[in-house]
Amino acid sequence: MELRDMYSVEEMTDYDIMEHILGCESIRLKGWGRIPSASSGATDTTSQPPERVPSEFEQQLLEKVALLEGALFGVKDTLQTQQSTLHAYGLISPSLASNA
């Protein structure tokens, strides 16, 4: 109920809320008749749900994940460079330099 209070039906459908609560992407809700993108008044319980567009919050999370992945690769590259330098000066063994 908290998610329904936070988001309108246009921002997050009941289907999206159930996916969020259950933690899965594909759920079947037989007889669930409140999908705002349905063009007709009748709901077909056997058809697939409409293609879901990520919400603004989800889009922000995806952008943050992409930024963090980029930062992780940068840190990994820096670590490899530092280990190679330490190995070149004989400060660490070759096995430590290659474990990165």
Q: Tell me the pLDDT tens digit for each residue of 56-100.
A: 888 899 899 999 999 999 999 999 899 889 988 988 887 776 665
Give the pLDDT confidence score for residue 72 in this predicted structure: 94
Q: What predicted TM-score, i.e. pTM, was given to this entire model?
A: 0.39
Give the pLDDT confidence score for residue 23 in this predicted structure: 66
The HSE-up count of residue 18 (CA atoms within 13 Å, CB side) is 12
- CA distances from residue 23 to 4, 20, 65, 68, 99 in whole angstroms, order as listed: 16, 5, 18, 23, 35
13 has a pLDDT exceeding 60: yes
Give the pLDDT confidence score for residue 2 in this predicted structure: 73
Band of residue 28 on the pLDDT scale cut at 50, 70, 90:
low
Give the pLDDT confidence score for residue 39 in this predicted structure: 45
Q: Tell me the pLDDT tens digit for each residue of 41-59.
A: 455 555 566 677 888 888 8
* Residue partners of 16: CB distance under 8 A and separation at least 6: 52, 55
